[in-house]
Chain A
Amino acid sequence: MPGTLGALRSFFSTQYDDRVAVDDVSFALEPGELVGYIGPNGAGKSTTIKMLTGILVPTSGEVRVAGLVPWKQRKENGRNIGVIFGQRSQLYWDLPLVESFELLRAIYGVPSELYRRNLDEFVDILDMGSFLRTPVRQLSLGQRMRGDFAAALLHSPKIVYLDEPTIGLDVVAKEAIREFIARINAERGATIILTTHDLADVERLCRRIVLIDNGTLIYDGDIDRIKSEYGRFRTLVVRFCEPVERPQLDGAQVAEVDGSIARFRFDRNLQRADLLVRQASERYRVEDVSLEEPDLESIIRRIYVEGYGGRSKEDAS
């Protein structure tokens, strides 16, 4: 439908589609755990976080956070949790950073001794001394993010939700944030749910991941397990001197052919890479070969595209 006409039509008759955002996503966390909660855009991650924080009421099912029902005991739950959104600051835009902290101290009723101790520690670890008195709107993204971390943790919450905390940050800032998260988890024993699209965050920080797609749980377990399951498969990338129609190698599957580049997937237990390389150079004129080891990123990408082929979610949970 053309733009103007379409806009006019939708002005008069708006259709709403009911969509199930999350369905049967069941998982439990132990105190002090640090879990990566991942899934593609629109999978239902934020919806889950909203239910855990008590700002969204589920139509059915049960949510308990440290024994509380978040939307029924919103304020009590609020004391237990700290939330960080990479894309949305909770600092007060017009105020100097430290005044946001003071306001939060009043909101959570943090005893002044604890406040002092936490603030000093965060200013030290996150290196915030130079911009503590700067209005938030003048901070760089990296500085603002550090400020947001301190703000969310000033009241020493037992449970912390991190929603894409490293988004848009440069590599150095990312590493600083990751180190800080690891430290909060280790030293303070905070239970952390980390939502991110940067799987390097997860690989660096988590032992366990919960993977959802289309609002349903598709994997819940150790990163190591998913890696060893999928990690059997390596990929041999062959660049031919000229384009080859239907290249084939015994003991490997063709994963992708793009002009003169072909990707072969093979099981490391059944086939050796050097034999494949020899085979390839005997059959075709080969310019270059390389070997891709599976990393979490490529594993997750395959699961997004092909679905999780491992065990069913019943025995995964």
Chain B
Amino acid sequence: MNLEPYVEFAKKAFSREATYRIEVLMEIGSLVLRVYILRALWTALYAQNAAPTNLPLHSMITYATIAMLMSLILEVDGTRLIREKIREGTIATDLMKPISVPLYFFSDGFGQTLLHALLVIPSLLCALLLVHIDVAPPATFAAFLLAFVIGYGVNFFLNFLMNCIAFWTLETFAAQLIVRWVSDLLSGQVIPLTLFPGILGRIVFALPFAAIYSTPLLIYVGVIPPDQWAASILAQLLWLVLFAALSSLVWRAASNRVIVQGG
């Protein structure tokens, strides 16, 4: 397959995102602020003896800060283009081209992601002025990166599926909001999933959301020890394959019922 168009899509998305300079700077500012607030919050909570035994305060702050940096990349929803294009009817012109339209959305999203990934470094530097985070050993860091990349894939397909709802309802905002809330909570972005008690904890670890934030983060802070890395990453991969298969089915059904608005 010729990858050139997709590389071009990613490049164009990157330069398009880069034109919103003020927004980019605001994003770093808001991130640093949130890191500071979280540090204050967790420090206060730990001082009240609310601390979980397996996660000391410095690990908790590391977890929260890295989760924030990850969200810089993971909250870029490249596939919202699907929703917009269906509403405006412009998806018709994409479908008339000799390209894989889902892959187009992926590369566009990836281009946007790359720009936001560049923000991670300055954001990290700013955050380091305010908080101290643990530095993981190289092997752990490598495992974290691998888990993060797989989580990125799971997140992409989740967003893709959500936005594909627009093929049927044309309006997906409510559904997206619900999934966003559920996923923020159950993915481990806001609080580590180890804090969920008993049976609830077992359930949230079994859900696909855990593959997005929780697995890479728990690897980084050492809650998932090296001998369990393989099993955790395998579970992520399982979700990735499952979601990819589901997306492919949904896309096939969706593209057979394109209702192009107007005209």
Contacts and interface: CB of A to CB of B under 8 A. Distances in A.
B84 to A, nearest CB: 11
Interface string A25-44: 00000000000000000000
A103 B11 CA distance: 10
Given A50-B260, A85-B93, A163-B263, 20 more contacts: A46-B263, A53-B95, A55-B260, A75-B98, A78-B96, A78-B99, A88-B90, A88-B93, A88-B263, A90-B93, A92-B12, A94-B16, A94-B19, A95-B12, A95-B16, A99-B12, A103-B8, A106-B4, A107-B98, A107-B99
Interface of B: 2, 4-5, 7-9, 12, 16, 19, 89-90, 92-93, 95-100, 255-258, 260, 263
Contacts, number: 68
A94 B263 CA distance: 23
Contacts of A102: 8
A56 B98 contact: no
B15 to A, nearest CB: 8
A198 B7 CA distance: 41
Nearest to B99: A107
A75 B99 contact: yes
A45 to B, nearest CB: 9
Contacts of A92: 12
Contacts of A85: 93, 263
A107 B263 contact: no
Nearest to B104: A107
Given A50-B260, A55-B258, A81 B5 contact: no
A78 B95 CA distance: 8
Nearest to A81: B96
A55 B97 CA distance: 10
A92 B256 CA distance: 25
B95 A107 contact: no
A106 to B, nearest CB: 4
Contacts of B260: 50, 55-56
Given A88-B263, A103-B8, A106-B8, A55 B90 contact: no
Contacts of B12: 92, 95, 99, 103
